Structures are given as C-alpha cells and as structure tokens.
Amino acid sequence: MQQPAVPELAHTTTRPIHWLATAAALAAVVAASGFLQPGAATAAQPGAEAPRTTAHAVAPPDPAAVRFPLNCGPVKAVVQQKASGDLDGDGRPETVAVVHCDAGSGTPPDGIYVLTQPRGAGPRIVATLVDPKDSFSVSAFAVRHAAVTATLDGYSSDAVPRYRPDVHDKAEWQWKGGAFVRTAQAAASSV
C-alpha cells in the first residue's frame, strides 16, 4: 500500500459538526442584520424645501368611545365599517362610521355618523348622514378626497323581503358652508 505524499490534515475533512458550526454562524449573521438597519433616507433635491410635519400627529376619533343614537334593545350597536380623513379642511381627521344593531340575523338598517374630536375632549358625533330609521343598508363605503361616498340599499315597499333590497342609491357628502351636504344623488334604481 502506498502512502499519500501529503499526510491527511484534520482541518481539511468536513464532518457534521463543521456544517453545524457554519449554519449557526450564518444564522447569527442573518439575525444580527435584522436588528442593524440603516436609517431613513434623508437626501433632498438641491433647493427643495424640507417637508413640513406637525409636532404631534392627531389620531382620528375612535368610534369605540362613542355612544351611537341607536335603540338596539338588549343587543349592542356594532361599528360595521369606519374610515377617516380630513373632511372639513381643518387639519384634523374626522372618522365616519357605519353602525347598526347587532341583530345576529337578518339585515339591520345602518346609520352613517361623522365623528370629530375637539382638542382636549373625547370623540363626539357631529353629523348623521344616514339615519337607521330610513331602513338603508350600506353595501359600499369610502372616505376619499374630503368626501364620503356610499351605496345605500333599501326597499321599495314593506312587501320586499328584508334579505333582498331592491332599491340601490349612490350617495356622496361633502363639507360645505358649515354642514355636510349631499352632493351626488343618483336616481335610485330598482331591481
């Protein structure tokens, strides 16, 4: 038997412990890189103004802190949808909430309420855009470009089953002259 010209070196033979040590070192580097992140980019174009930010961002009003004017009997009022935006141009966000009684079954009518939160006070309702007494359900809802839009589903008569609305109306409200004004009212379509 012939001897190798160079003796076998212990560090040139891989063993499972070597792979385990390599994997552990790699995992440590990946984990450390998750904690060490660069700061936000702050480069600006020459001559450009720095963006203006307010010292204290104002949180939109929380609908959970408001008692809605619904007579729900033994069940609670539920905020089905909500969206926020500066609707009146004062620099403070309002919240618009779609609320109904938690009936458990059926299609309870919705109300659409606008909430504001004055400085140093709790949130409060400042406008009712849709009253639940009008028996509408809200199937689409958004706050965009200082306007509230909604698709209202209703019933042409008491004979129409409450699970199948046959009147569909698109509505939009904007703040004008100190009040929310319905600015778009498509003709109600019956199905």
Q: Is 76 part of a structural domain of the chain? A: yes
Q: Is residue 47 part of a domain?
A: no
Q: Is 18 helix (H, G, I), strand (E, B) or coil?
A: helix
Tell me the CA distances in angstroms from 167 to 20, 82, 133, 158, one per residue in order: 68, 23, 16, 12
- Assigned domain for 174 exists: yes
Supply the range of the domain harboring residue 92: 63-190
What Rg do the C-alpha atoms of the chain give, in angstroms? 30
- Look at residue 116 and tell me if it is in a domain: yes
Residue 82 has pLDDT above 80, yes or no: yes
Task: Please tell me the predicted confidence (pLDDT) of residue 40.
Answer: 47
The number of folded domains in the chain is: 1
- Give a yes or no: residue 157 inside a domain: yes
Burial readout 8-33 (b: 16 or more C-beta within 10 A, e: otherwise): eeeeeeeeeeeeeeeeeeeeeeeeee
Give a yes or no: residue 43 inside a domain: no
Model pTM score = 0.67
Structure tokens at 124: 């409060």
**How sure is the predictor about 41, in pLDDT bands with cuts at 50, 70 and 90?**
very low
Is 36 within the bounds of a domain?
no
